């Protein structure tokens, strides 16, 4: 066994030990405070004033970075296992109950400052995923940065591999309840996607899109208000 394998096993041992011991401690016996203090030994970084409720599962914590004032609630599962992975939760991110975030290999998942992830959301690589600042991702939405190859009808689909293009959701987007975002998509800054929509193609900034597949039905800005470029500049400064 080489040094890297020994190091990986030691990291995994620390992770299992600390999460098994601390992960179930409720608030009443200082569970969040102890997790904030002692999880520093297994994460890349964990900031100040982080609130991690009991019943949160972390896998591959040595590839996870958590900023200041992040809130992670009961039932969340964050899996960064694999080669060359990175999960970054920036300052003020809130992840509600039963959210599932997962990598595979060579995956980067970044959720930017003050974004809210609603209950039951699934965010899955192995394609890279970047969610911008101050976004609202409503309950039971799915963000899937992968696609199965199925061209050969004589082989099992599971044996034909996957493609990975990545997903970008820019700042100040709102995805309604049950939205599905498929691989290769960029949702432009300030856009709104209606409940139940399936996003298969790029959505321009400051658009409102609905339906299956999602189509832009109107823009959020007009000439009487402010043009999209000016709106983008105002959001960038805020």
Q: Which residues contact 7 (CB under 8 A, 6 or more apart)?
A: none
Distance CA 174, CA 117 (A): 10
Tell me: the pLDDT tens digits for 64-107?
Answer: 999 999 999 999 999 999 899 999 999 999 999 999 999 989 99
Give the residue among 42, 49, 37, 48 at the shortest CA–CA distance from 78.
42
pLDDT band at 225 (very low <50, low <70, confident <90, very high): low
5 falls in which pLDDT band (50, 70, 90)? Answer: low
pTM of the model: 0.87
pLDDT at 237: 61
Cβ atoms of residues 212 and 193 within 8 Å:
no
Number of Cβ within 10 Å of residue 211's Cβ equals 14
pLDDT of amino acid 19: 83
HSE-CB for 64 with a 13 A CA cutoff: 24
Each residue's pLDDT tens digit, 99-109: 999 998 999 99
Rounded-to-10 torsion of CA 53, 59, 60, 61 = 10
161-207 residue pLDDT tens: 999 999 999 999 999 999 999 999 999 999 999 999 999 999 999 99
* 7 pLDDT tier (thresholds 50, 70, 90): low
Reduced to 3 states, what is the DSSP secondary structure of residue 158? helix
Alpha carbon dihedral 101, 15, 92, 228, in 10-degree steps, equals -40
The Cα–Cα gap between 230 and 214 comes to: 26
CA atoms within 13 A on the CB side of 197: 24
Query: What is residue 179's predicted lDDT score, i.e. its pLDDT?
Result: 98
Q: How many CA atoms lie within 13 A of 13 on its CB side?
A: 6
Q: Give pairs for 112-119: CB < 8 Å, separation 24+.
A: 112/171, 113/67, 115/90, 117/93, 118/177
Would you state the pLDDT for residue 221?
Answer: 83
DSSP track, 60-90 = SGGGEEE-TT-EE-TT-EEE--STT-EEEE-
pLDDT of amino acid 212:
96
pLDDT tens profile 183-192: 999 999 999 9
Residue 227 pLDDT:
60
- What is the residue-averaged pLDDT of the chain? 90
∠ CA(219), CA(224), CA(225), 5° rounding? 65
Give the pLDDT confidence score for residue 222 in this predicted structure.
Answer: 73
Q: What is the CA radius of gyration of the chain?
A: 19
């Amino acid at each position: 066994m080489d040094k890297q394998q020994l190091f990986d096993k030691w990291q995994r041992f620390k992770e299992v030990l600390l999460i098994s011991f601390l992960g179930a401690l409720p608030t009443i016996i200082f569970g969040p405070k102890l997790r904030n203090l002692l999880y520093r030994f297994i994460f890349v970084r964990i900031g100040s004033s982080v609130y991690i409720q009991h019943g949160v599962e972390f896998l591959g914590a040595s590839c996870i970075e958590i900023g200041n004032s992040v809130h992670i609630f009961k039932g969340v599962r964050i899996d960064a296992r694999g080669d060359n992975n990175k999960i970054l939760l920036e300052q003020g991110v809130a992840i509600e109950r039963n959210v599932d975030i997962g990598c595979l290999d060579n995956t980067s998942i970044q959720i930017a400052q003050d974004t809210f992830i609603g209950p039951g959301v699934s965010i899955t690589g192995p394609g890279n995923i970047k969610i911008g600042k101050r976004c609202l991702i409503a309950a039971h939405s799915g963000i899937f940065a992968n696609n199965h190859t199925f061209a050969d009808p004589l082989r099992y689909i599971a044996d034909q591999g996957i493609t990975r293009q990545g997903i970008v959701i820019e700042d100040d987007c709102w995805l309604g309840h049950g939205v599905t975002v498929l691989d290769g998509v960029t949702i432009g800054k300030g856009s709104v996607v209606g409940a139940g929509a399936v996003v298969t193609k790029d959505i321009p900034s400051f658009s409102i899109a609905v339906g299956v597949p999602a189509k832009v039905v109107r823009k959020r800005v007009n000439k009487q208000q402010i043009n999209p470029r000016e709106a983008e500049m105002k959001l960038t400064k805020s």
